[in-house]
Amino acid sequence: MKIRYGVNTCDHNPNGNEILIHFTKACPNKCSFCIDKTNVGVNTKKPDIDAIIKTLNIYKDKVKNISISGGEPFVFIDELETLVNWIKENTSLNILIFTSVPNICYDKKEQFFNILDKCDSIQISLQHYSEVISDRIRNSKTIFFRNDFYKEIIKHCGSEKIIGSINIIKPYFKTKYDIIRNVCLFNQLGFKNIKICEMFDADDVYIDIPKMLKIKMNNPFSWGCKTEYTNTYDWVYNGKPFDGHLYIKRSCFYRTNHQKANIWDFIKMCTRWMFAKKYFFAVLHENGEIAPYWI
Ligand code: SF4
């Protein structure tokens, strides 16, 4: 799946028409900023595979891409495997999967890799290069060496289809150097596509990335919240320069109280109905239903 940046997903989907499957709200982690923490959900954590496939079958010709997220999709690894197999056998849709690589992925490594083999794109939530801090952020205990396992995943899948995402949050990132160090170390591990993200809906941990990097960026809402950042010539750690693609995902004033809307945002609000491209996007829940307001 080709990922384009310098765009807002709320204007038009940069990757084409899409169904996002909210596979489960269950997750073994307890990140303080989790958007699923307060999500009441659809009264079930366990995905109803038959119902999901039935709905997917109805809409499959309307879309190009399927994203599978949670919660943590691998919590229900058997059901996930059934779904991914069905998509690959019955459609030509691209699959993007989001995961925090919980312990079950290591315990059931073979099954985990079988599923990854069928996905076109994998987004791994890395949190922090220090495995101790990473566990602290997740509020959970990892039973394997994360960074070693990431290397194994990259070796198995190839680095092109993997994106490592790092949430830049308080109190673990205090300076520009903390960001550069994390990005470079994961890059040296083998990640070629790295996304650093501002945290939305969680004002207490929010960090303004351009401010911390001491760079100027245009307003995320009016100019695009997803941007490829190429000015990394001085991003070096242990004598090794960063040699991948770096993306910055920012939070606009819609999602955080730390951003103030400006005149460009106002102009865009007034005119976007004329210019925003129409696309099909739907969230398919774990019970197989698509909420009408999401289509
Ligand atoms: S890993 Fe993701 S889904 Fe799980 S608790 Fe953290 S933010 Fe929520």
Find the range with the poorest average confidence among 4-18, 26-40, 43-57, 261-275: 4-18
What pLDDT, in 10s, does the model give residues 256-286? 888 888 898 888 888 888 877 777 889 999 9
Is 198 within the bounds of a domain? yes
Does residue 38 carry a pLDDT above 50? yes
- Strand 193-197 with 245-249, pairing: parallel
Does residue 111 carry a pLDDT above 80? yes
Q: 30 CA to middle of ligand 1, Å?
A: 6
List beta partners, residue 62. none
Q: What pLDDT was estimated at residue 6? A: 56
Instruction: Give the residue among 151, 183, 181 at the shortest CA–CA distance from 247.
Output: 183
Q: Is 52 in the pocket of ligand 1 (CB under 6 A)?
A: no
Looking at residues 99-119, what average pLDDT do you find? 98
Half-sphere exposure of 85 (CA within 13 A, CB side): 10
Q: Is 182 in the pocket of ligand 1 (CB under 6 A)?
A: no
Q: Is 164 in the pocket of ligand 1 (CB under 6 A)?
A: no
Higher pLDDT, 154 or 6: 154
Rounded Cα distance between 110 and 194, Å, is 25
H or E element, residue 236: strand 236-237
Q: What pLDDT was estimated at residue 1? A: 42
H or E element, residue 79: helix 77-90
Per-residue pLDDT band at 12 (split at 50, 70, 90): low
What number of H helices and E strands is found in the chain? Answer: 10, 11
What pLDDT, in 10s, does the model give residues 49-79? 999 999 999 999 999 999 999 899 999 999 9
Per-residue pLDDT band at 202 (split at 50, 70, 90): confident
Residues 196/209, Cβ–Cβ less than 8 Å? yes
Taking the CA of residue 36 as reference, the ligand 1 atom at the shortest distance is 8
Is 13 within the bounds of a domain? no
Number of structural domains in the chain: 1
Q: What pLDDT was estimated at residue 4? A: 45
Find the range with the poorest average confidence among 70-74, 180-184, 229-233, 278-282: 278-282
Q: 269 CA to middle of ligand 1, Å?
A: 31
Taking the CA of residue 25 as reference, the ligand 1 atom at the shortest distance is 3
State the residue range of the domain holding 35.
Answer: 18-294
Looking at residues 108-132, what average pLDDT do you find? 98
Is 235 within the bounds of a domain? yes
Q: What pLDDT was estimated at residue 167? A: 97
Q: 241 CA to middle of ligand 1, Å?
A: 31
Nearest CA owner, ligand 1 atom 7: 34
Q: 37 CA to middle of ligand 1, Å?
A: 8
Is 8 within the bounds of a domain? no
Is 12 within the bounds of a domain? no
Is 116 within the bounds of a domain? yes
Taking the CA of residue 125 as reference, the ligand 1 atom at the shortest distance is 1
Q: Is 71 in the pocket of ligand 1 (CB under 6 A)?
A: yes
Q: What pLDDT was estimated at residue 9? A: 66
Is 9 within the bounds of a domain? no
Does residue 292 carry a pLDDT above 80? no
Higher pLDDT, 13 or 78: 78
Q: Given ligand 1 and candidates 22, 25, 29, 38, which is best to mutate, with the most ligand atoms within 8 Å of its CB?
A: 29
Q: 86 CA to middle of ligand 1, Å?
A: 26
- Residue 41: which region, alpha, beta or left (left: phi > 0; alpha: psi -120 to 50)? left
Report percent pLDDT > 90 for the chain: 72
Does residue 2 carry a pLDDT above 60? no
Q: What pLDDT was estimated at residue 185? A: 98
For the chain, give the mean pLDDT: 91
Q: Is 201 in the pocket of ligand 1 (CB under 6 A)?
A: no
CATH code at position 35: 3.20.20.70
Q: What pLDDT was estimated at residue 293? A: 57
Residues 74/104, Cβ–Cβ less than 8 Å? yes
What pLDDT, in 10s, does the model give residues 128-173? 999 999 999 999 999 999 999 999 999 999 999 999 999 999 999 9
Is 7 within the bounds of a domain? no
Q: 137 CA to middle of ligand 1, Å?
A: 10
Report percent pLDDT > 70 for the chain: 94
